Chain A
């Protein structure tokens, strides 16, 4: 789960207020506080580290530009998540329009050449690395195959540790909708990985 840093809620509120008054240093501290959490969330939504960085950066830029309009009706972190979620969903939908057969496995192209979507895992023996990598690829694939509305809720709840209430606020949907989407997401994820287990590609501990 993406870790939050050590600032208290009061510290956050003070920093937000200072940033709203134009204190760039305060905003910098807010970026430091939330960058890993938001990046991890966006990265899970998009499964692309470069695109995740761009979107995460844009989320903070938009937050900075929108700060004068932030009145504290929601917490800063749910507000920031909402910005990031909207941006990530935009990318997902754009991909669908541009690449109907978006590949989860093919390398991405950049100006510096191709790069793999999968972030290398340097821990463990070669056998462990291979099994771990296969597992992670399979799980990431299963997450990416979820419709974006289910993926969003699954990532926010299971990987980001957000509460049902905060997720409802982030996504601007009723609490019941959050629970329903999470239920459906879990079922679909289970179905995706069940097929792989049946094919003998993954082992599931009993």
Chain B
């Protein structure tokens, strides 16, 4: 085999000598240049595959859904939740986890309402706070339920994202 043929095989398998044909293997045994090529290819493969995966930023899904709502000129649940849970001063790409959480719960088929005192029947506590509660149930939220959420959100004087506010905490209840 020629060096060119062997190197073509080496490229196909990223320099792994275990996957070479017998002829290529015999060539490598006597060809220092091709052995060097194999080494470079193996190292290249290691470096390439060591690149870490990158994840979409926090709140990405919520941002997409808000954009859809905005472009459709709607004031549906996506836009309303984004409006109320995302402080205006925050750059769009650094939306707090709260938006993602709220939207994620909504898109999972949940509706949300807030109430004080005892939990609505059929709900369970997801997280607790003395300041207020949110209950989640199915099916998807109606506008009336969201209006109620907004009023209670104001009543709780929420000004911080759900996960970050140390004082008044919105918490979420899920149905069993």
In this complex, which of B12, B43, B49, B109 has the most chain A Cβ atoms within 10 angstroms of its Cβ? B43
Q: Given the complex of chains A and B, what is the CA–CA distance between A46 and B173 in angstroms?
A: 41
Confirm or deny: A136 has a beta carbon within 8 angstroms of a beta carbon on chain B: yes
Contacts A28-B61, A32-B61, A35-B56: A135 and B40 contacting too (C-beta < 8 A)? no
Q: Which residue of A has the minimal Cβ distance to B100?
A: A32
Asked if B104 is at the interface of the complex by the 8 Å CB criterion, the answer is yes
Contact A24 B53 (CB under 8 A): no
11 A-B pairs with C-beta separation under 8 A: A2-B53, A24-B69, A28-B65, A28-B107, A35-B64, A53-B60, A53-B93, A61-B71, A112-B91, A159-B49, A205-B42
What CA separation (Å) do A95 and B49 show in the bound complex? 27
Whether a CB of chain A sits under 8 angstroms from the CB of B3 is no
A-side interface residues, number (CB < 8 Å): 50
| Chain B proximity of A163: nearest CB distance (Å) | 16
**A36 and B51 within 8 A (CB):** no
Interface assignment of A40: CB less than 8 Å from any CB of chain B: yes
- Contact across chains for B56 and A39 when beta carbons are under 8 A apart: yes
Query: Is the CB of B127 closer than 8 A to any CB of chain A?
Result: no
CB neighbours of A96 from chain B (8 A): none
Chain B residue, CB-CB nearest to A35: B56
Complex Cα–Cα for A27 and B140 (A): 14
* Complex CA distance for A51 and B46, rounded to whole angstroms: 27
Task: Please indicate the chain B residues that have their CB under 8 angstroms from the CB of A140 in the complex.
Answer: 51
Nearest CB on A from B28, distance (A)? 13
The 10 residue pairs across chains A and B that have the minimum distance between CB atoms: A204-B43, A28-B107, A39-B56, A35-B56, A25-B107, A31-B61, A2-B53, A36-B55, A190-B44, A43-B54
A-facing residues in B10-59 (Cβ within 8 Å): 11-12, 14, 37, 39-44, 46-57
Contacts from B to A (Cβ < 8 Å): 8, 11-12, 14, 37, 39-44, 46-57, 60-61, 63-65, 67-69, 71, 76-78, 91, 93, 103-104, 106-109, 140
CB distance from B32 to the nearest CB of A (A): 13
Q: Is A57 an interface residue (CB 8 A)?
A: yes
Residues on B with beta carbons closer than 8 Å to the beta carbon of A36: 53-56
CA–CA, A197 and B65, complex, Å? 46
A81 interface residue (CB < 8 Å to B): no
B-chain residues with CB within 8 Å of residue A32 when the two chains form the complex: 61, 104, 107
Per a CB cutoff under 8 Å, which of B37, B46, B56, B107 touches A24? B107
CB B101 to nearest CB in A, in angstroms, measures: 12
In the complex, the answer to whether A197 meets B54 with C-beta atoms within 8 Å is no
Bound CA–CA A204/B41 (angstroms): 9
Sample of 20 further A-B pairs with CB below 8 A, known A29-B108, A158-B49, A190-B11: A24-B76, A24-B78, A25-B109, A27-B68, A28-B106, A28-B107, A31-B60, A31-B61, A36-B53, A53-B57, A60-B64, A61-B68, A64-B68, A112-B91, A140-B51, A183-B12, A186-B11, A190-B40, A204-B43, A205-B42
Residues in A neighbouring B43, C-beta threshold 8 A? 193, 197, 202, 204-205
A104 at the B interface (CB under 8 A): no
Nearest CB on B from A48, distance (A): 11
Q: Given the known A-B contacts A28-B103, A190-B40, A205-B42, are A1 and B64 also in contact in the complex, defined by CB atoms under 8 Å? A: no
Query: Is B60 a contact partner of A57 (Cβ separation < 8 A)?
Result: yes
